[in-house]
Structure 1
């Protein structure tokens, strides 16, 4: 499936863009060209950016190298309503293809407004339950 097709660096993303635009690279081997040809039905290029087609929607693909851009995207989605990890992931899934839930969780944990509103929870000491023994009748 397409989830196996990862963009570990921007060079791989550039190769896919060049392939989809019709420029064939000399340094790609036969197997890589076959993979690109097979997966090209799921991707398209618009204004030099690579998009992934999913359920009639276009999702932008970000490289793993572009951490600052990825961080800005996650924070902008989170600041809409300071949602939790799952809601931010749902918003993210409508726009971007390859941002992981772990990345979202770490950035939300760093959000000062969310940390201030939730505060720190302290565990109170457990007090023993005092029981009264009922006298036995003889």
Structure 2
């Protein structure tokens, strides 16, 4: 292989590596961060292991994660949302979201706690 061919192959390989790295950087820059929001209220369902969490947020946001931490006396619910990627498509008025949250154990007499504010969540 001649010197010019090796140099060209090396340049192509370096360009491919830089392009892959640039794609990851661009993805992280364009991806909006997650924001934890408060649960305003909850409802029980027919299934004792499922509750419906009520939230209020702008309509363009997307729920990205719902997590629970359970112990014998309480259930802590954490909800994270992500802003839209490229623009704003919603209005200024928040809308109510209802999110079904599956628990490991039946809710029974345990208290529901908002993971964002650490405050008790009222039942509707």
TM-score greater than 0.5 by the shorter chain: no
Which one has a larger percent strand, Structure 1 or Structure 2? 2
- Higher RCO (CA-CA < 8 Å; seq separation 6+): 2
Which one has a larger percent helix, Structure 1 or Structure 2? 1
